[in-house]
Amino acid sequence: MELMYKWVLYIGIPLLVILPFVVLGRRKNFRDSIKAANVSYVKDDPRFKRKTIVYKLLSVFALICLWASIAVSFVMISRPVEVKTVSKTLRNRDIFLCLDISDSMDELNNNICDDLKKLVKGLDGERFGITIFCGKTVVLVPLTTDYDYVLGEIDKLQKSFEQSTSYWEWANDFDLEAYEYKYAGTLSDYGSSLIGDGIAGCLFAFPDLRENTDRARIMIVTTDNEVYGEQIVTVSEATDLCKKYGVKVFALGPDYVVDEASFKKDIEKTGGQFYRIQSKNAIEDVIDAISVTDASDTQEIQTFITDKPVLLFYFLLICTGLYFVSARKVRL
C-alpha cells in the first residue's frame, strides 16, 4: 500500500506528538488540587476509590481513542492506495470488420456471425473494430481489445439479421428494436449499399493511419457489390486508398456478386483476397490469411490505482464511537 499525499503526514505527525502535551498541560492546574472541602471521609470510601480508578481509566481511554481517530484521519487524508503496474503484450495488428447491412446481405451476415465470434475469441492482443454501412457508414465499435464488448455487439447484429431474414416467421414474436438495430445511422436519402463509401469510411476509422505506418491493418468486408445510388467514392477508388495506406482488404461475398471479376481485382490489389461464402472453409481461409499477416508485438504498460480506505474507515468509526461512549461516561 502506498500514500498518494505523503505530505499530509509530515504535518499530521508533529501535531499528533504535540497534542498530548497540550491536553495534559491544560489540565495541569487541577491535577493535584481538590475542588471540594471536607472530603477526607469520602476519599477513604472503597466505592469512591473504585469510581476514581474507573474515571481515570475511562478518561485515558477516551483520550487515546480521540488521538487514534485523529491519527487515522490524517492517514485517510493522505489517501492510501494500491498501485499495480501491468505489462501486457499487444499484437501490432488492427482488424476492422466492415459489414454491408443492406437487406440483400442479411442471410450472409447472419451465417457468418458465429464464425466471426470464433475469430474474435481467438485474438490475442490485436485491436478489433466494427463498422456497418448502407447509405452511410457508422463506426459501431472503435478499435479495442475489449473482446467481450465486441462479442456483445456481434450478438446484437446477429439478432438483428435473424429478425430481418425471418420476418414472416417472427410475425407473432417480432422484435422491432432488434430489427432496427442494424439501421441506426446507416440510412440515407442518397441510396443504399454504397460499397465504395463504406470501405472508405471504414478505412479512415483506423486511428493514426498516416502517422503510424508500422501497424498491420486489415479490413474484412462483406458485400454483394450491388450499389443503389450515387457513391462519393467508388470501390476502385476506395481500394486504391487502402493500398496507399497499407490496409489489406479481405472480402466475403454471396454466390452472386455484381461485376465479380472487377470487384475481385480491386480487392486483390490491396494484398487481400475475395472469398465466396459458399466456398468451403471461407471464414477459416480468411482467418488463416490474417494470421500470417506481418505483425509485431508491443508492450503496453498500464498502471492501476485503487483506493484502500475501507479498513481505515472501519477503524475510524470504532475509535470515534468508543470515544463518545467513554467521554459521555466521564463527562469530558
pLDDT digits (tens, 9 = 90+) for 19-58: 777 766 655 555 555 666 666 666 677 787 788 888 888 8
AA identity, residue 104: S
Q: According to CATH, what is the number of the domain 88-300?
A: 3.40.50.410
Confidence bin at 269 (pLDDT 50/70/90): very high
Owner of C-alpha cell 443492406: 102
What is the average pLDDT across 326-330? 81
> Is there a contact between 86 and 302 (Cβ–Cβ < 8 Å)?
yes
Percent of the chain with pLDDT over 90: 28
- The reported pLDDT for the residue numbered 100 is 92
**What is the C-alpha separation between 56 and 42, in angstroms, rounded?**
17
What is the average pLDDT across 138-147? 92
**What is the C-alpha separation between 99 and 104, in angstroms, rounded?**
12
Torsion of CA 185, 126, 220, 190, to 10 degrees: 20
**What is the C-alpha separation between 222 and 241, in angstroms, rounded?**
18
- The reported pLDDT for the residue numbered 97 is 93
**What is the C-alpha separation between 146 and 59, in angstroms, rounded?**
58
> What pTM was computed for the model?
0.63
pLDDT tens digits, 101-131: 888 888 888 888 888 898 888 887 788 999 9
Residue boundaries of the structural domains of the chain: 2-79+309-330, 88-300
Whole-number average pLDDT of the chain: 84
47 or 296, higher pLDDT: 47
